[in-house]
Structure 1
């Protein structure tokens, strides 16, 4: 005898279909052309279903990007900070590649024009990932890879600043070799911090 369908499972399938559709459509047409109607049609759900879960297309894309970032740019702790940061930064770069059709880049660009979206991006996407970064850095401090007194705010800017600088000015994003060199330089700089600042 077959059991009754699980409404929660159906809802999760619909949710994932909406998120995937939002990412696909943003890649194809850009954020400006993205609409709830198009997302609903691609996902095979009603607009009412989408509006029940999200207040806007920006909110849909933000959740989709957040899940993609969690999957592609997570922080691992192998005990080797240089290896882990190269892996993590490569994941970040992949999220922005190719730049012209990246939903992540589109969301960041739109958040510069929409203060409300910028707040949501900061609170839902950026701050949680800063917390994960700081957790990985504290692990490196405990293991002696970087000094206990290393300024984690400075470390954050040194690791990620070059990527966002290149995005803003439409420069080529760093490849794996460049990422490795930058990671080595940042770790060396953190280790060379004057004792008075530790």
Structure 2
């Protein structure tokens, strides 16, 4: 007699939901996704999704983070300026890819959905900001940067132009832009010898 396997394991079900959500996100964009569509694609009920996530935004952001987390490593070359260049350039290269274009869409949706904005700020942007902070703190420790450096403002100086181009002007985001940006910022914050 064959035994029934019963319900799928929770982790597999979660993975299926995240995969379905991410696939829908890439195929159709954030606006077109519904919990019903995620459930259908994953082969689960809506109740199963709501067991782990409070709303569509939460599952979509989790799926995005799950699929993209390995693409943004923390560089440590021994050079603060090079580490910051690598971090920003890796992110810019991701942003200009089809998968990365989703970031602009999620940010745009967040302007009308404060819960979504809170989720992407906490889950996606704060960790990246933390990486920048680690790089700059290492630079201060190594003596590459002055001890009184305003780290938070420096992070804004670095990332502000990236998002300005991404969301406002639509101007080119490429390696040359990133190299020039990092060089200009570091010219302003470097130690005076």
TM-score category (smaller protein): 0.7 to 0.9
Gap regions ≥5 residues in structure 1: none
How far the C-alpha of 1:68 sits from its partner, in A, is 4.4
On the 8 A contact 2:84/2:132 being kept in 1, the answer is: no
Instruction: Kindly report which structure 2 residues correspond to 1:75-86, keeping only aligned pairs within 5 A, or say none.
Output: 75-86=74-85
Cα separation, 2, equivalents of 1:179 and 1:68: 24
Counting matched residue pairs gives: 188
TM-score, normalised via structure 2 length: 0.84
- The answer to whether the aligner puts 1:122 opposite 2:143 as a matched pair is no
Gap regions ≥5 residues in structure 2: none
Instruction: Kindly report which structure 2 residues correspond to 1:80-159, keeping only aligned pairs within 5 A, or say none.
Output: 80-98=79-97, 102-159=101-158
SS of structure 1 residue aligned to 2:9: helix
SS of structure 2 residue aligned to 1:169: helix
Using the TM superposition, name which of 57-66 and 41-50 deviates more.
41-50
Cα separation, 1, equivalents of 2:120 and 2:47: 24
Deviations 1:29-54 (A, max 9, x none): 12111011211222233322211111
CA RMSD of aligned residues (A): 2.6
Deviations 1:130-167 (A, max 9, x none): 22321221011101111111111221112111111012
Deviations 1:76-126 (A, max 9, x none): 222122222222112222342246972222211111111222222222322
On the 8 A contact 1:21/1:43 being kept in 2, the answer is: yes
